Structure 1
Amino acid sequence: MRWYEYKMELDDLHASDDLKAKLLAMQPAEEAPKPAKKPKKAIHFPRRTLSIAACGLLCGVGLYVAVHSPISLLPAGGAALSSAPETASYAAYSMDDVNSALAAPKTAVPAGGSADAMSARDAGGTGALSAEAAQTSTKLIYTANLTIESKDFDAARTALTDAVSAAGGYLESSSESSYTGSSRTLSLTIRVPQDNYASFLEAAAQAGNLVDKSEQVQDVTTQYMDIEARLSNLTAQRTRLQELQASAENLSDLLEIESSLSDVQYQIESWQSQLDWYSQQVSCSTVYLSLDEVKEYTPTEGSYLSQLSSALRNGWTGFVSGIQQLTVWVVGVWPVLVILAAAALVVRFVRRRTRK
């Protein structure tokens, strides 16, 4: 833990200045930065040496191309330049001179392969480690919402229960509604392990007709790491307070240290509960599922005629359902309707008598 971070934590602590000064003195100071090394002077070669080396390099390359070229280089008289052994030895001698003249520090290459191959392997290894580190340190919370239709409500509910058990999850909440003359609706809140999250969604979609599906991902890595850092600092403060408590000389200092220790312990428990909540949300994904009992599945795709037919069928079904509901309502309030009818008859009779 860095010194300035520890000082910021002490500023938030409810304690006297003397106690804060003691706690601050127990924190070791940061090491002074080491002085930067002076850059080494570059090695400069004389211009004359470089010129000789460049000329030797050009001559050696020209002779090497002349010897190994498939086209015979013949002078105007038709004689060859030289025999193959003499040319080869001269070229080797020239390249040795060039190498000695252009001696410079070079990158060492292991025996396992070239520098490019080693760079590629190093890059691949670093990428794999980075991906692994990102996978282990990233904290993601997955949430999904599913709406499913089924003509066989009981069979679909049984299939969902089996899918939850197979995924190793559990049912957090359940709510079922059913009214007279209408279909049933089941609302579920399911928690499944993050490793089985995708497989559970596929199994739940097979329980009926999937009407709607939405997923959300929340990255809480920053919040998680911030809470861990706070807990680390508070734990260090608690340790130092306990050390001061053991060496307290009078009662007033002891009471003050105990008060600060209680405050730090309360903060540790509060932050630890938040960290546990984040850990639980990351380890288990949440799925909100709604199962509706229907007589006909909602068409997902279709032509204009099929959509028109579905609209007519749904309109007639809604009209019949409305008439049924109205009939049930009228039967339910028949005493009120009888009283209103009797009152209307009395008013009409009184008006007739008044006119006469």
Structure 2
Amino acid sequence: MLSITNEGGSDMKRSFLPLFAAGLSLAVLLSGCGASSGNASQATASAAAYQEMPAATETAVDYSAGFYDAAAPAAENYDMDYGSDAAAGETAAPSGEGAAQQAADTQRKIIRHANMTLETKAFDEALREIESLVTGSGGYIESQSIDGQSLSYRGDYYERSASIMARIPAEKLDEVASQVGTLCNVVSRSESMDDISDTYFDAQARLETLNIQEERLLAILEKAESLEDVITLESALSDVRYEIESITASLRRMDSQVTYSYLNMDLREVLEYQKISDQPPAFSTRLSNAFAEGIDSIVVSLENTLLICASAGPVLVVWLVILGLLVCAILLIVRRVQRRAEQRRAARNASVQNARADQPPAVNIPPKEPEDKVK
């Protein structure tokens, strides 16, 4: 219980609890910023800071003995039961600077990524075998996509390809990759590793500190008497629990990435496997190959042209017939128009001639002689 040692203790008591809760939040934030050392020393430093706070305010409040002893069990190790940790035979890192450093040295958190480019002549069978290998090793297919058409379509070659993302237990990654190599022709293979040990152990230390703060906030909340103190403490407790859930989810995600490695496979269907030589071919060989490829390109172009003409032949015939009909129709219309124009011209000429025939013949009158000549 809280006991007031100075006058006006009730006011100081009400004002101290929110300040103390704010101090706890500030201490946790400072300890989280300094968690880059990858160990649990933050929890010890925070506990020391909490133990110094009553001494600095003993003139105002006198905490009963055993208050921090009751909260001490909250400084327990991060020992949450993750399925991935159990599968990998891992144990939680113990608290304390030396133990955390030892865990960081001996239990490195490494995410492995393996990439393989494969060729196969039996595409469907290879897909089934790869899926069987992945599931048999305790892994699973995270994503898969297949592109392309059948191997032969109207006499042409269309290759199919598949992109497979598999999650394999870390201890079986090399074994599964080797077995896949026996099923297909391996064109290329690469592997990369991502060491997340520092991030992982920093998150562990941060989680331990938050667990300590949660327990102590709960202990203070039980001793709060005013509604204002209860609201302030519950708000701080809600923030702490949110951070605990966020860090816990992050740790589980990292555990899953470490326990189940990534195996990316690009599978292509081919008629002939790609030949890989240790030494590059001679210039004469490359020259002859280039000439042969040029001849093949010409032959393929001619074949494609003939195929296009053959496939477009019926369509061209239909369009030629339609075009011929249109030309014939246009010629008939033009001839009819010309014939009518000639008929109208002939009729007009005939009418002119008829009009001239109906007129009387002209009389020839001799010209008069001049009068002076008559005289």
TM-score normalized by structure 1?
A: 0.55
Q: Which residue of 1 aligns with 2:76?
A: none
1:300-315 map, 5 Å: 300-301=276-277, 303-304=281-282, 305=285, 308=290, 311=293, 315=297
1:205 — aligned with what? 181
Q: How many residue pairs end up in the alignment?
A: 242
Q: What fraction of aligned residue pairs are identical, expressed as a percent?
A: 29
> Is contact 1:186–1:291 with CA below 8 Å preserved after alignment?
yes
Residue ranges of structure 1 left out of the alignment (5+ in a row): 1-14, 33-131
* Structure having the higher Rg: 2
Conserved 8 A contact 2:114-2:192: yes
Aligned position for 2:121 = 151
Q: Does 1:161 align with 2:131?
A: yes
Structure 1 distance, partners of 2:260, 2:210, is: 28
For 2:281, the aligned partner's letter is S
Deviation at 1:223, TM superposition (A): 0.8
Aligned in 2, Cα 1:238/1:322: closer, same or farther, shift over 3 Å? farther
Quick one: structure 1 residues 147 and 141, their matched pair in 2 at CA, closer, same or farther if it must change by over 3 Å? same
**Change over 3 Å in CA distance of 1:159–1:311 after alignment to 2:** farther
Structure 2 unaligned segments of length 5 or more: list them: 1-16, 28-45, 53-101, 339-375
Question: 1:178: Cα distance to partner?
Answer: 3.1
Instruction: Name the residue aligned to 2:260.
Output: 284
Find the partner of 1:263 among 239, 243, 246: 239
* CA–CA distance in structure 2, aligned partners of residues 321 and 245 of structure 1: 87
Matching residue's letter, 1:173? S
Structure 1 pair 219/202, CA: closer, same or farther in 2 (3 Å)?
same
Tell me if the contact between 2:24 and 2:213 (Cα under 8 Å) persists in the aligned partners: no
Contact 1:23 1:240 in 2 (8 A): no
Deviation of residue 242 (structure 1)?
0.7
In the aligned structure 1, how far is the partner of 2:132 from the partner of 2:253? 27
Task: Give the whole-Å Cα distance in 2 for the aligned partners of 1:341 and 1:135.
Answer: 85
Amino acid at match of 1:141: I
Aligned residue runs from structure 1 range 221-236, under 5 A: 221-236=197-212
- In the TM superposition, 1:52-67 aligns within 5 A as none
The match for 1:3 is none
| Distance in 2 between residues matched to 1:201 and 1:173, nearest whole Å | 17
Residues in 1 aligned to 2:261 and 2:319: alpha-carbon distance in whole angstroms = 58
SS at match of 2:138: coil
The root-mean-square deviation of aligned C-alpha atoms, in Å, is: 4.4
Q: CA deviation at 1:150?
A: 0.7
1:224-251 per-residue CA deviation (whole Å, 9 max, x = no partner) reads: 1111111111111111111111111111
Shift of the 154–218 alpha-carbon distance from structure 1 to 2, 3 Å rule, reads same
Code of the aligned partner of 1:148: L
Q: Is the 8 A contact 1:167 1:199 kept in 2?
A: no
Seen in structure 2, the aligned counterparts of structure 1 residues 295 and 168 have a Cα distance that, compared at 3 Å, is same
2:195 to 196, 200, 219: 219
Question: How far off its partner does 1:308 sit?
Answer: 4.5
> Shift in Å at residue 260 of structure 1?
1.1
In 1, Cα distance between equivalents of 2:103 and 2:24? 39
Query: 2:219 aligned with 1:243, yes or no?
Result: yes
User: What is the 5 A alignment of 1:99-114?
Assistant: none
Q: Which residue of structure 2 aligns with residue 19 of structure 1?
A: 21
Q: Is the 8 A contact 2:121 2:272 kept in 1?
A: yes
1:137 corresponding residue in structure 2? 107
Q: CA deviation at 1:321?
A: 9.4
Question: Which residue is equivalent to 1:252?
Answer: 228
Amino acid of the structure 2 residue aligned with 1:217: M
